[in-house]
Chain A
Amino acid sequence: MTQVSFEASFQKKIDEEIMIEPQDYMPDEYRKTLIRQISQHAHSEIVGMLPEANWITRAPSLRRKAVLLAKVQDEGGHGLYLYSAAETLGITRDQMLHQLHTGAAKYSSIFNYPTITWADMGAIGWLVDGAAIMNQVPLCRTSYGPYARAMVRVCKEESFHQRQGYEIMLSLAKGTPVQKQMAQDALNRWWAPALMMFGPLDAVSPNTAKSMEWRIKRFTNDELRQRFIDVTVEQIRILGLELPDANIKWNEERGHYDSSELNWDEFWNVVKGNGPCNKERLATRVKAWEDGAWVREAASAYAEKRKTKKAA
């Protein structure tokens, strides 16, 4: 087959909803796009453990502590599923970690915001994991098999993350006036960053069209963001909290809630590395990797020793 016919038969498979597997032909750009997207996704799961890990030792009860630990451990697992999915495309784990640690790779900007009160654990589980679920459910049908299968696993586990967060918000919202204020403050701070998790506006998102054509993505950033706003407004009402944006209003004609324009300057600024916690997060990851070096070396040495013993 010629290059042209390879590409035509690739697109035909995509259009027929036949999944692409690691050994199948795929255009270089498809491979590159997936490596970038899956590794960024993996990095986000791994760095995403840090803001919540901040509160594990200070969780208000043993129940909350056990739950938070289990959630953070799940996020570590999600990172591992995704790193192995990316590895099937020909990048190594070490290369990906190197890209993360040198700042060459991005991760979701949301994790560059600080977690300053316990209510942030509620807001993160509810809004950040909620937005992640909205993004991830369509990815269970993404065109690359290993990515889709990893996402099925991830989505099964995410639902408890969101529910435990909402439960924290509910307890605070029904608690003392100070607790309720804490919940409100967390909602106000996390609202806009959570909406930015869906990525830039469609109008300025040049990769979207190609990703849709390749069925890597199935909905645009703006579609998913709108869907998230629509379901979350109801959830805010049930909590009995104030809406975090004075411009949220039902639009009868569109059948959706309207809301304020987001501050995209802030978004790009955080993406560029100038968010409140970018440096701290990266430094923490690098330190963990470097502090773990002797463990990795010892395990390799032990495995080697056992191998030679067996051979002898």
Chain B
Amino acid sequence: MSNENKEWPLWEVFIRSKAGLDHKHAGSLHAADAQMAIENARDVYTRRMEGISIWVVESKHIHASNPEEAAAFFDPAQDKIYRHPTFYNLPDELKHM
């Protein structure tokens, strides 16, 4: 009854909610192939017009950064506050910049 090992693969679903916006991760689901994953994603994640475009990718193809190394990995950006516009001291009379 449990049908072990015959489970359909897992897919990650990305949805563009409207024209001009990025596809954003919405969730995941099981499907036998990509076509079925897209159709299932429509029924599971866009029942209320939440999307105009769907991407699916098999979960096993996603590679992720390691959360345990996050501190060291993202460290290079930590001390570069000059990358932000607020770092610069400009006179108050300068209105439009």
Chain A positions within 8 Å of B, measured between CB atoms, are: 21, 23-25, 70, 73-74, 77, 80-81, 84, 87, 92-95, 97-98, 101-102, 149-150, 153, 157, 286, 289-290, 293, 296-297, 299-300, 302-303, 306-307
User: If A77-B44, A77-B47, A81-B27 touch, does A93 touch B64 (CB 8 Å cutoff)?
Assistant: no
Check if A93 sits within 8 Å of B1, measured CB to CB.
no
CA distance A290 to B1 in the complex (A): 7
Size bin of chain B's contact surface: 20 to 34
Chain B neighbourhood of A101, CB < 8 A: 1-2
Check if A289 sits within 8 Å of B32, measured CB to CB.
no
* Most chain A CB neighbours (cut-off 10 Å) among B30, B32, B48, B64: B32
B2 CB contact (under 8 Å) in A87, A97, A307: A97
Check if A80 sits within 8 Å of B44, measured CB to CB.
yes
Of all A-B residue pairs in the complex, the 10 with the closest CB atoms, nearest first, are A98-B2, A303-B33, A299-B32, A303-B32, A84-B28, A23-B67, A94-B7, A80-B44, A300-B32, A77-B44
Does residue B57 face the partner (Cβ distance < 8 Å to A)? no
Check if A93 sits within 8 Å of B44, measured CB to CB.
no
User: If A93-B7, A94-B7 touch, does A80 touch B1 (CB 8 Å cutoff)?
Assistant: no
Chain B nearest CB, measured from A24 CB (Å): 5
| Contacts across chains A and B counted by CB atoms under 8 Å | 67
Check if A150 sits within 8 Å of B47, measured CB to CB.
no
CA distance A102 to B3 in the complex (A): 13
Chain B nearest CB, measured from A293 CB (Å): 7
B29 CB contact (under 8 Å) in A80, A300, A302: A80
